[in-house]
């Protein structure tokens, strides 16, 4: 019988700050499959995240199928907007939410992993990072700074992380990121350059799959998940409408669950996915295949 077995493998999931997003559910699915899991969290959210864990606020969502709780082997600070600590401006480094954390850059994360686990240090890298400070603005109203910020954290950070973390990964390892259909189709309301960032992320996935595959023998894929009402997605402002619309019009007319994204990630990270790289894998109940609104067709026939 085939099964997803990640025993003996270590995962690093970057972008977990609560128990409501895809990053958390990917971490949970990887743990269910037997992997040990480290996470990297944005510094301004780090203390809140740790407090939630310590006070048991996430115990229910952390429950695994065997009754144990999902445990994080390490929790690292990470602001993926900065490749090195020197790249962070003084007002960031001296901010009370940053100044006592040490090196919170991508290089700092790399150095900590190497210090904690040696080299090679891990097998699975999950990029669950996105930020669009002007996401509610139409592209025509997006500033250069807002556009570049979206691309920097939501797309380039994968490149910056793989540059540094790739040498710490074991051969046969898996890199995963999260994209969205706005990369290829217009989604009104998903602005601020985020659609451009997701398109760049998908293009980079293909190129990185070739380069990292030849250099380190690791695979690189991205999951295009349907809309999901996580805390982070609430910044879009219309996420509930997006979820309802896709649920009405998808081939499988139901809302996406975060578990379904987590399970796909576990499969792609496992030996069962060893032949898949450079791919955008849709987990959206089939909505990406649709070319007409079902409601419109029903209205025409009535």
- Give the residue numbers marked as catalytic: 180, 190
172 torsion bin: left (phi>0), alpha (psi -120 to 50), beta (else): left
Give strand ranges (E) for the chain: 10-14, 36-41, 72-77, 122-127, 169-179, 219-225, 280-283
Write the secondary structure of 217-263 as one string of H (helix), E (strand) and C (coil): CCEEEEEEECCCCCCHHHHHCCHHHHHHHHHHHCCCCCCCCHHHHHH
CA distances from 301 to 102, 251, 291, 298 (A): 63, 19, 17, 5
Count the neighbouring beta carbons within 10 Å of the beta carbon of residue 55.
9
Count the neighbouring beta carbons within 10 Å of the beta carbon of residue 241.
12
Count the neighbouring beta carbons within 10 Å of the beta carbon of residue 140.
6
78 torsion bin: left (phi>0), alpha (psi -120 to 50), beta (else): beta
Q: Can you tell me whether residue 289 is helix, strand or coil?
A: helix
Cis previous bond, 249, omega within 30: no
Q: Which contacts of 291-299 are long-range, i.e. CB under 8 A and separated by 24 or more positions?
A: 293/249, 294/248, 294/249, 294/253, 295/248, 295/249
11 within 8 A of 64, measured Cβ to Cβ? no
Provide the CA 219 distance to its chain's centre, in angstroms.
16
Which DSSP state fits 169? E
């Amino acid at each position: 019988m085939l099964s997803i077995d990640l025993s003996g493998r270590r995962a690093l999931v970057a972008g977990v700050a609560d128990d409501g997003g895809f990053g958390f559910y990917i971490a949970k699915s990887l743990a269910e499959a037997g992997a040990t899991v480290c996470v990297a969290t944005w510094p301004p959210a780090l203390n809140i995240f740790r407090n939630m864990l310590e006070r048991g606020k996430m115990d229910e969502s952390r429950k695994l199928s065997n009754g144990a709780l999902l445990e994080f082997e390490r929790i690292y600070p990470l602001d993926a907007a900065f490749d090195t600590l020197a790249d962070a401006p003084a007002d960031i480094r001296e901010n009370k939410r940053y100044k006592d954390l040490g090196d919170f850059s991508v290089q700092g994360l790399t150095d900590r992993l190497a210090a904690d686990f040696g080299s090679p240090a891990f097998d699975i890298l999950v990029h669950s990072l996105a930020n669009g400070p002007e996401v509610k603005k139409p592209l025509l109203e997006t500033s250069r700074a807002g556009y570049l910020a979206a691309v920097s954290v939501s797309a380039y950070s994968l490149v910056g992380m793989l540059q540094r973390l790739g040498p710490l990964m074991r051969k046969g390892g898996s890199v995963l990121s999260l994209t969205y259909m706005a990369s290829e189709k217009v989604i009104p309301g998903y602005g601020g350059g985020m659609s451009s960032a997701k398109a760049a992320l998908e293009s980079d996935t293909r190129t990185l799959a070739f380069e990292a595959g030849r250099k380190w023998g690791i695979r690189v894929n991205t999951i295009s998940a349907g809309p999901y009402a996580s805390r982070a997605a609430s910044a879009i402002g219309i996420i509930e409408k997006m979820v309802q619309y896709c649920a009405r019009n998808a081939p499988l007319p139901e809302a996406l669950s975060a578990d379904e994204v987590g399970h796909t990630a576990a499969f792609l990270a496992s030996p069962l996915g060893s032949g898949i790289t450079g791919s955008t894998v849709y987990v959206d109940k089939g909505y990406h295949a649709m070319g007409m609104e079902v409601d419109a067709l029903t209205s025409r026939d009535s």
